[in-house]
A and B are shown apart, each in its own frame.
Chain A
Amino acid sequence: MLLIECPWCGKRDESEFSYAGEAHIARPLETGKLSDAEWADYLFMRKNPKGAHREQWLHAAGCRRYFNAERDTVSYQIKSTYKIGETPSEDRA
């Protein structure tokens, strides 16, 4: 069972959260000019790395707010969690 630290509520059990996929995917601004391939890349293509992954979680049975996490997809260890719009710890140094 994962113990996940919500940036607002603190450490809570995995069952309170729902997963929301890869983080830091920005919606393209000039959508009218996008080609089909660019749309496909934005909508469907994912990094899906084996190792460090930045991803979104929703504290569904808590504050109901989204936040980001850095997690290893092999060991499942959560390195850090941070609010939407913040910089992950790795990039701050």
Chain B
Amino acid sequence: MTELERHSYDVIVIGAGGAGLRAAIEARENGKRVAIICKSLFGKAHTVMAEGGIAAAMGNVNSNDNWQVHFRDTMRGGKFLNSWRMAELHAKEAPQRVWELETYGALFDRTKDGKISQRNFGGHEYPRLAHVGDRSGLELIRTLQQKIVSLQQEDFRASGDYESHIRVFSELTITRLLTNEGHMAGAFGYHRETGDLVLFQSPAVVLATGGIGKTFKVTSGSWEYTGDGHALAMRAGATTVNMEFIQFHPTGMVWPPSVKGILVTESVRGDGGILTNSEGKRFMFDYIPDVFKEKYATTPEEGDRWYTDPDNNRRPPELLPRDEVARAINSEVKAGRGTPHGGVFLDVSSRLPADVIRKKLPSMYHQFKELADVDITAEPMEVGPTCHYVMGGVEVEPDTEETRLPGLFAAGEVAGGLHGSNRLGGNSLSDLLVFGRRAGLGASEYVDRVGGAAPAVTDEMIAEAEAEALAPFGVEGGENPYTIHSELQETMNDLVGIIRTESEMQEALAKIEGYKERIRSVGVQGGRAFNPGWHLALDLKNMLLVAEAVAKAALERQESRGGHTRDDYPAMSPEWRQVNLICRSTGDAVELTRQPLSPMRGDLLDLFEVSELSKYLTESELPKGEH
């Protein structure tokens, strides 16, 4: 038996997408020694797939934009279930976070006067998304990656060691967080390449592990999206909030089958693309909900005029928030007006010249050409909803991103609150930057407060973690983890998907209980070096815990709001808006409790008309007096 590999750091950041890297930069700028743990190679995290851009009210394209407008849009998009404090911080700080990226070397597309260009997106009142064509996520992650490298170069000049303050651990998966008397003490995991186990001791851990997409069958998420952070946090004693809210992005590819679910950026619609059904009708005009009636065009003519004259026309309903568009597409397909492959048409070919399409949407052009033999400059795309994002997540304190477990922080998709019941496009990349930075800062301040040393990790804790990680090797002829995974994905897609009912969710929970039994007897073939079967067997435990939290919360919430649509409770309820659903792990099950939302601060409430608030809030919550 070889000696266990051990490391000690001030801050461990689990996850190397936008939030994790920004957190690591902040912790290092605050003098902390930081370990960055990536499940894949450095620079490959899921952030790379974001296409549209970073929402920030810089006002470069329309000077009427400011943080108050962005705040309002975010709250409306989330149907007022958002953590209003997070939405406020996000709207205020996003511009600084984008400008900072330019100091790291980012090269955004420009306006005519040389500023960062901004594009229109669903739910955003003004052009707001800083972008680079349709590969904005790649620019974001590469920029942060290169900033980390530049900090390592600074450290090298100072100490002769590139890794004196930041070390990147690639292809390393964390299987368990370690706590001592209710405080963060470290993390335990394995190197994917060798299968060697490794212990990190640290008083502070930042979770930045992203989402849970791989729990669903049709998803825009990669293999990494197995809900690791959600599960690690719950098992260690932290909580999640509102896990029922899952965003189904309205436009995923639907054909060929092997690419089903891959994202088609909302920029296609932001730049003029329209949705039509098999009868050639622009159907979104039939799906403008009451709460948005005054904000959207009622005729195609008005919608088309908006692109060139936004001050005197209302935006087309193709740019409604994502939950509305996804439900509309779902309804059209169900009503028999879908395309041959079960989607609807998204057409930009009749709207923009071919060279403009190739320039503005290069990776969409490339993706359809190479994967589907479709030339989007000449013919429409076929698209349909795909599981894209989880609005719910680990419950955090809005200013510091600390969870209920002292020393554990969370930022980015793994954290809950900012987006309420539905996230606006573009608000994810800004979320990563604003709250990644705040989590890095929160963790640094925490380390200063507790005096730097991590609580002890006992041999017993290590032995338990080892046994857990290696358990699948001890099962002779056990069940194949791939089989259970694919059954779980079908269950979640079919029974806890875009439209939900009580009986189906009960059925899903019963099936999840069955998978929980079966997972005990999952076995793996082969050795410990880079063994995907073993990796999946461990990831599957996280997915099951997350799936149970999603299904239980979805069953509990008896209303329809944002990314949670109940066939049996189709209306949005002001009473339910006052409720957050909190999940904890009891060891072998998920326990759910209700928790009241904190009332919005008066000056933020004053940013809205009472007539609008009355669509969301109960009578007693409405501000009294003149507005």
A, B assembled together = no
